[in-house]
Amino acid sequence: MRPNETKRKLASGRPALGLFVSSASPLTAETAGGLGFDWVLIDLQHGENDLGNLSGMLTALGTTPATPFVRVPENDSMHIQRALDLGAYGVVVPMVNTPADAEAVVQAVRYAPRGARSWGPIRGLLYGGPDYLVGAAEELMAFAMLETAQAIGNAREVLSVDGIDGCFVGLNDLSISLGVSNEAVAGETLAPAVEDALMAILDACRTTGKVPGVQLYGPGAINRRLRQGFRFIGAGTELRVLRDAALGILGAIER
């Protein structure tokens, strides 16, 4: 089966940087995949993408070196299995608040005997290779989004579930859940309650041996979290990168 280079990089202790794609453009996905990020995630939770166009997005991304990930819209077996069947090598699942939520993710991602995923990787075989069934347990990744106060309280138990590879923190929803404005999530230093939550997640990851991940905005914030120990790093979305680059150009032009 095609190796999951992102998983290998993370297993060696190195960070893996990625980009979210929320626009329904295969050309954008292909462009993002060729920029040098370790992984690119097609976002079904927010933005234009859905199961109807996911195959084309993953096919375009599959021409690039980036590992294909999908954020599903909810913790739902059908969405998780369809994303994997279409060639995703990992899923990021929102609102995983309890060990039972994490177990539901594992059941959808893993084949028996660990899980209950149904056989039918139509495009997964094309991308992954004919030994997909044998290799899927080793190559596919499952990340639980910890983004509520409840999830922070249960972080160690959630991450202890066998078959969960790591977590991914959504700073916007986490801030809202903690009663903090999400307007400042792009900053290098966040509100004390959010900083405390991030440290609790890092501690839970160290205890369980799982990968800590977080969505960030800007190199300063990324470098700070890397120093703290976060390793599965989202560097924003393609639309935010486009906006920031455009505003930088416009602001530098003398007119």
Contact 45, 75 (CB under 8 A): no
How far is the C-alpha of 163 from the C-alpha of 138, rounded, in Å? Answer: 10
Q: Record the tokens describing residue 40, joined without a space.
A: 């690119």
Q: Which of 8, 11, 36, 46 is catalytic?
A: 46
Count CB-CB contacts under 10 A for residue 23: 18
Where residue 23 falls (left for φ over 0; alpha for ψ -120 to 50; beta otherwise) is beta
Closest CA to 62 of 79, 83, 87, 41: 87
The reply to whether 46 belongs to the active site is yes
Cα–Cα–Cα angle for 109, 214, 224, rounded to 5 degrees: 150
Contact 113, 62 (CB under 8 A): no
Q: Record the tokens describing residue 189, joined without a space.
A: 């230093």
Cis check: omega of the bond before 212, within 30 degrees of 0: no
Which residues are the active-site residues? 46
